[in-house]
Amino acid sequence: MRGLMQDVPLTIEMVLSRARRARTVVTGDTVLSWAEVVERACRVRAALKTLGVRPGDRVATFARNTHQHVELILGIPAAGAVVHPLNIRLHRDQLEYIVDEAQDVLLFADADTGALVDPTITLGDEYERLLAGVEPDASPVTAAENDALALCYTSGTTGDPKGVLFSHRSTVLHALGLLMVDSHAIARDDVVMPVTGLFHVLGWGLPYAVALAGGDLVLPGHSNAPADLARLIATHHVTKGAAVPTVWNDFLPQFDEHDLPSLRELLIGGAPVPPELIRRYAEHGIGVAQGWGMTEMSPSGTMARTEGIGAAMPLVELRLVDERGEELPWDGEAAGELQARGPHVAAAYYKGEPFADGWLCTGDLATIDADGTVHLVDRAKDLVKSGGEWISSAQLESAIAAHPSVREAAVIAITDERWGERPLALVAADGEVTAEAIRAFLRDHVAKWWIPERIEFLDAIPRTAVGKYDKRALRDRYRAPG
């Protein structure tokens, strides 16, 4: 027997309909109503048809967080095409590889991207003339819910970037998941500022979620400078900000000059959050919600406001497996590879084979408590095997970063004649601190044999285009294995 419920497809149409009744979209000093943004997105949809874009064609963007970029991530899929956000921080070789594989038919780019990409349409006067030359197409979206909506690429830290092809259905379900109280908890009265780029998995899906909730979206535009972010937060009463830990670490001095009473919570992902950063924001009455996920998961998987990385968000199923592929118990002790599946989790890479057993292999090692709380042990490739025993680089990094003078820390394995491998710690510090002081601090926080003999100080830890520590570059620099 089939249920007698209305068959309403989960497509971008649902986001557009809700957005028309949401409040505002801010880019720097420009304030538009969501209704205006939707109307402009409908002009994008009409313009694409005049340019010969067909359903399924890939249309790329190379842009920062602006209302124009939001219009594109709404209007391109409304036209039945696939929006393909390019990471503006990638090397030209990686961009060429991605564009070649995606076979983009059009490219919308910010005017100041220079020779890095060759835009079809520049986001400026040319873009505005394009929209002015057409009438908005507000007819119902004809895409099916399992049609492709967006193509996003992984950061390529372990090889060539891989494409992840989201559907309309997966994108809407992911956005709905971000509204849940144990997830990002985005509500109608929230003013959300995604500092993380829209080229990072569509800004972690936040514009779609804010549109569904009916809230306000504040976009930094062409400047992520801490002073400019503080001005936006103060002016537009931002309640939630989203970015990688580095952004919020650099932002802390702004509290010496600004009173920011509206800011209630930081949504942080992309890298582990140092305990010291959580503590310092708590002093200002601001909570931290730490997310874990991957591009392959749209990207959200878990959210934590206490210990670990939280439990799986609704519609995400997790399991642990050992080296033989056998499932492990959730007892807080058994550590294995974390795997995921669900309606907004990838089933295969673009132009790749389906994943074995229908589960996404994350490459993360974790334990899971009986109540479902996940604790990451490390990335499988980042473990240090010293004297036949494993050292978690993630846990050691967290312990080093807890030192009050340490701003950030990365740990990699280096070859050791006696032990096989030993940890090398790369540290960026604020103020005066010595390697011996860090080692003395670690004696109360980790096992003695975990403490690195070698600690190097850097001005800043190199990062990938998505804000994670670039351990491939660090291994190359320090001739580490792997």
Domain harbouring 99, CATH code: 3.40.50.12780
- 139 and 260 together in one domain: yes
Rounded distance, CA 243 to CA 200, Å?
10
The rounded radius of gyration (Å) of the Cα atoms in the chain is 23
Residue 350 in domain: no
Q: Is 298 part of a structural domain of the chain?
A: no
Which residue type, as a one-letter code, is found at position 466?
V
In a domain, 131, yes or no: yes
DSSP structural state of residue 446:
S
Last residue of a domain, one of 289, 316, 347: 289
CB 274 within 8 A of CB 408: yes
Q: Is the dihedral of CA 48, 54, 56, 58 positive or negative?
A: negative
Q: In the prediction, which pLDDT does 388 show?
A: 64
pLDDT of res. 156: 59
* pTM attached to this predicted model: 0.84
CATH of the domain at 404: 3.30.300.30
Q: Are residues 282 and 393 in the same domain?
A: no
3 state SS of 140:
coil
268 and 392 co-located in one domain: no
Last residue of a domain, one of 289, 322, 356: 289
Residues 38 and 167 in one domain: yes
Is residue 122, in this structure, part of any structural domain at all? yes
Please give the Cα distance from 187 to 181 (Å, whole number): 9
Question: Do 104 and 245 sit in the same domain of this protein?
Answer: yes
Last residue of a domain, one of 254, 289, 324: 289
Cα separation of the two ends of the chain: 55
Domain tally, the chain: 2
Tell whether 234 is covered by a domain. yes
Question: CB within 8 A of 277, min separation 6: which ones?
Answer: 245, 248, 249, 288
The count of residues in the chain is 482
C-alpha–C-alpha distance, residues 352 and 361, integer Å: 14
* Rounded Cα–Cα distance for residues 13 and 19 (Å): 10
Question: Is there a domain that residue 313 lies in?
Answer: no
User: Tokens 């057993």 — which residue?
Assistant: 357
Give me the residues paired with residue 455 across strands: 425
Evaluate whether 287 touches 193 at the Cβ level (below 8 Å).
Answer: no
Residues annotated as part of the active site:
154, 296, 385, 390
pLDDT at 301: 97
Residue 170 CA, chain-centre distance (Å), reads 16
Q: What does pLDDT average to in each consecutive run of 10 residues of the chain (482 residues)?
A: 95 97 94 98 98 97 97 98 92 84 95 73 95 97 97 74 96 98 96 96 98 98 95 98 90 95 95 85 96 94 88 96 94 95 97 91 93 86 77 87 91 84 92 91 88 93 81 83 55
Helix residue spans in 252-301 (DSSP H):
275-282
Question: Where in the sequence is the domain holding 220, given as residue range(s)?
Answer: 12-289
